[in-house]
């Protein structure tokens, strides 16, 4: 933090925005269709997908559905973590004009991964499904975050990022109750299948709302640092 350079002074309007409250971030998010779409996409991931690969459901899934033990659970979590890392690295290869295609493909992969988990009776099918799911989930999270950062104005970027973060961290406790609670009523396989279908339909709807604008260049790019010559 000490090494961070001092931020440049903005325009009078930007400085006034910086002095405004946290509610200004919410107001801007509501007025920007692209940022709102990305927040909705992450919220859908949090509610319908993350419980299936998190401690909220995964230990019970391994024990009660796959009839396996702690060692298999550990390997599945390792596969998920490796997939998330590969997805983060793969994010670097996504060109701006192909973002929408990649995000749509990732939504399909995530929905298919959870659906195959709901049908699986073997460790290997579940491991493959979770690996693909983790890669796609990590890439979409990174792309959504990048798009939000690009479209948020510099004066409000911190508050907009906080609202974006709430769609994940803020919803996690609620998400840990929705799908697991539903699985208590209809069974875990049925709950996962329904969650994958609802997620797929809703996520594709959100992406269609954003459209090709996810490929747009930022209106207010981050200014380049000024370089001073050394005499």
Q: How confident is the model at residue 76 (pLDDT cuts 50, 70, 90)?
A: very high
- Centre a 10 Å sphere on the Cβ of residue 128 and count the other Cβ atoms it contains: 16
DSSP letters of 117-160? HHH--SHHHHHHHHHHHHHHHHHHHHHHHHHHHHHS-GGGHHHH
Nearest Cα neighbor of 144 from 202, 93, 201, 104 is 104
User: Is residue 229 one of the residues assigned to a domain?
Assistant: no
d(CA 194, CA 118): 9
Q: What is the mean pLDDT of residues 207-227?
A: 62
Which has more confidence, 224 or 189? 189
Range of the domain at 70: 42-215
User: Is residue 10 one of the residues assigned to a domain?
Assistant: no
User: Is residue 146 one of the residues assigned to a domain?
Assistant: yes
Q: Check which CATH number belongs to the domain holding 128 and give it.
A: 1.20.1250.20
Q: How many structural domains comprise the chain? A: 1
**What is the rounded end-to-end Cα distance, in angstroms, of the chain?**
28
User: Is residue 189 one of the residues assigned to a domain?
Assistant: yes
Rounded (10°) CA dihedral 28, 102, 40, 25 = -20
User: Is residue 222 one of the residues assigned to a domain?
Assistant: no
On the 0-12 / 13-18 / 19+ scale of CB atoms within 10 A, 167 is buried
User: Is residue 13 one of the residues assigned to a domain?
Assistant: no
Which has more confidence, 14 or 108? 108
User: Is residue 224 one of the residues assigned to a domain?
Assistant: no
Whether the model clears a pTM of 0.75, i.e. scores above it, the answer is: yes
User: Is residue 156 one of the residues assigned to a domain?
Assistant: yes
């Amino acid at each position: 933090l000490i090494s961070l350079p001092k931020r440049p002074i903005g325009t009078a309007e930007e400085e006034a925005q910086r002095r405004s409250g946290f509610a200004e971030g919410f107001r801007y998010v509501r007025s920007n269709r692209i940022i709102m779409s990305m927040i909705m996409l992450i919220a859908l991931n949090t509610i319908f997908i993350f419980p299936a690969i998190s401690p909220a459901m995964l230990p019970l899934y391994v024990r009660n559905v796959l009839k396996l033990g702690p060692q298999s659970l550990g390997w599945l979590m390792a596969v998920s973590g490796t997939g998330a890392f590969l997805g983060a690295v793969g994010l670097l290869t996504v060109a701006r004009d192909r973002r929408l295609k990649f995000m749509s493909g990732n939504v399909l992969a995530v929905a298919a991964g959870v659906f195959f988990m709901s049908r699986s009776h073997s460790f290997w099918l579940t491991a493959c499904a979770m690996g693909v799911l983790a890669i796609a989930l990590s890439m979409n999270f990174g792309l959504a975050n990048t798009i939000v950062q690009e479209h948020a104005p510099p004066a409000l970027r911190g508050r907009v990022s906080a609202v974006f973060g709430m769609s994940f961290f803020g919803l996690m406790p609620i998400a840990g109750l929705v799908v697991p609670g539903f699985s208590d009523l209809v069974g875990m396989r049925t709950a996962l299948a329904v969650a994958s279908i609802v997620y797929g339909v809703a996520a594709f709807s959100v992406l269609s709302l954003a459209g090709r604008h996810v490929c747009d260049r930022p209106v207010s790019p981050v200014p380049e640092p000024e370089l001073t010559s050394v005499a």
